[in-house]
Amino acid sequence: MHHEIGAELRAAVRIVPANEATWDDLQAILTGPAGRCQCQRQRLGDHDWWRMPESERAAILRAETHCDDPRSTETIGIVAYVGDEPAGWCAVDVRGVFGRLRGSPVPWSGRQEDKDDPSVWAIACLIVAKGHRHRGLTYPLVAAAVEHARARGAKAVEGYPLLTGGAQIMWDEMNVGAVGPFLAAGFAEVSHPTKRRLVMRLEL
């Protein structure tokens, strides 16, 4: 079960735009299935992602994050450190760039939304590194993602978390995040399109 992060851990957490992190640090977070995905499934959509070799997925992510380039003004996510250890990744960007979201019924069910509205951002993926899981790290990650989007002109931020009901969840479902961190960051439920998924939104 994910709980709110403790004060001691919160003090040790530092979160930076991904371009201020190193590529090696980001890859240390993206292991196992997340390493195979390279955070491209949400951006490319299942069809294009499935056919692409892992090395190509990584090359795209590297270009999009601008890791190792602290002077860049462009990146597509944020990286969390606990002390000096790379511990978490969050993909946050304009909602319309995420091809998998565009093609999924979840974000659009029962709503009249312009898929191309550049002022609406989305938190599409949350990954916590092995050794740092189940400590509440997604709480500061979601909060920092909101500030990252706000600083870049977002008028609203959405998330599409999973209702866990206390059950063990497979990683590829859980990477959308749990409801708790979104509630804690001030998000409100907009719709409940499937039994286990919510659309949550924060107006900025």
Question: 72-81, pLDDT tens digit by residue?
Answer: 989 999 999 9
Percent of the chain scored above 90 by pLDDT?
Answer: 71
For the entire predicted model, the pTM comes to 0.92
pLDDT of residue 1: 42
Band (pLDDT 50/70/90 cuts) for residue 94 is very high
Checking if the pLDDT of 122 tops 90, the result is yes
pLDDT of residue 13: 93
- Strands 120-128, 156-159: pairing kind: parallel
Checking if the pLDDT of 105 tops 60, the result is yes
Q: In 10 A of CB 154, how many CB atoms?
A: 24
Checking if the pLDDT of 109 tops 70, the result is yes
**Total number of residues shown for the chain:** 204
Fold of 7-203: Aminopeptidase (3.40.630)
Q: How far, in Å, CA of 111 to CA of 101, rounded?
A: 14
Q: In 10 A of CB 55, how many CB atoms?
A: 8
- Mean of per-residue pLDDT scores for the chain: 90
Query: What phi, psi does 98 have (nearest 5°)?
Result: -85, 100
197 - beta bridge partners?
162
pLDDT of residue 149: 97
Report CA Rg, the chain.
16
Question: 155-200 pLDDT, tens per residue?
Answer: 999 999 988 776 555 545 678 999 999 999 999 999 999 888 999 9
pLDDT of residue 173: 61
What average pLDDT does the segment 91-117 reach?
94
What average pLDDT does the segment 101-130 reach?
94
Question: 4-51 pLDDT, tens per residue?
Answer: 777 777 778 999 999 999 999 999 999 988 988 988 888 888 788 888
pLDDT of residue 172: 56
Percent of the chain scored above 70 by pLDDT?
Answer: 94
